[in-house]
Copies of this chain bind each other. A is one copy, B any other.
Amino acid sequence: MKFAKIPMATITRLSVYMRTLQDLLEDDVDVISSERLARLCGVNPAQIRKDLAYFGEFGVRGVGYRVGDLLGQIKDILGLTRRWNLAMVGLGNLGSALVRHANFLKHGYTFTAAFDVDPQKVGKRLPNGLLINHVNEIEEVVKDRDVNVGIITTPASAAQSVANQLVLAGINGILNFAPVQIQVPDCCHVENVDFTISLDTIAYHLSVSG
């Protein structure tokens, strides 16, 4: 499916709706009103209707949304009906913690490759059995194991070089935890994660309200 000009904030909110719908499905909820879904997602009902309207008509007037149907439709929109293979580059404290984090697998993301430069780590296996390869092997291993997305948790100084290797290996999606802006060709999509930016937002709110 191709949709033009969808705001990024809409895509992010679809992910949030999807998580809430998954929880509802696990609790055997079949149908939910847009008001209640909105409250659970922390948005207003008009926002949900507006976000979904980009992609077609959803829900039944006077009834609400069928949980299983809407979940499937959002997964379809986001491209999450298939499996996504991840490579972790950088097995320090953060990278090691993330590889073990159950949240990835729960949402359909599977680590199929892991890389580091530390001779103490290369050649060893992670608790999940995954072999740690040297970053010099990125191109070969990424192609071999059909990796779709690279996650960078290296120090800032190594991030650009790793990003270059991932792009050379054909990777078009990077989740970057290194505290540096990495430059990639237009065909590659980068999402940056920096916890301290979220802390700055909290600090701002506490400062203006305190």
Contacts and interface: CB of A to CB of B under 8 A. Distances in A.
Interface of A: 1-3, 8, 11-12, 14-16, 18-20, 40-42, 77-80, 84, 86, 92-94, 96-98, 100-101, 103-104, 106-107, 109, 148-149, 172-175, 179, 181, 187, 189, 191, 193-210
A193 B193 CA distance: 9
A179 B128 CA distance: 21
**Copies of this chain held together in the complex:** 2
A197 B74 CA distance: 13
Contacts of A197: 12, 15-16
30 contacts: A1-B208, A8-B201, A12-B197, A12-B200, A15-B197, A15-B200, A42-B181, A77-B204, A78-B203, A78-B204, A78-B207, A80-B203, A92-B97, A93-B96, A94-B101, A97-B97, A103-B179, A103-B195, A103-B196, A104-B199, A106-B179, A107-B199, A149-B199, A149-B206, A172-B209, A172-B210, A187-B209, A189-B206, A191-B198, A191-B202
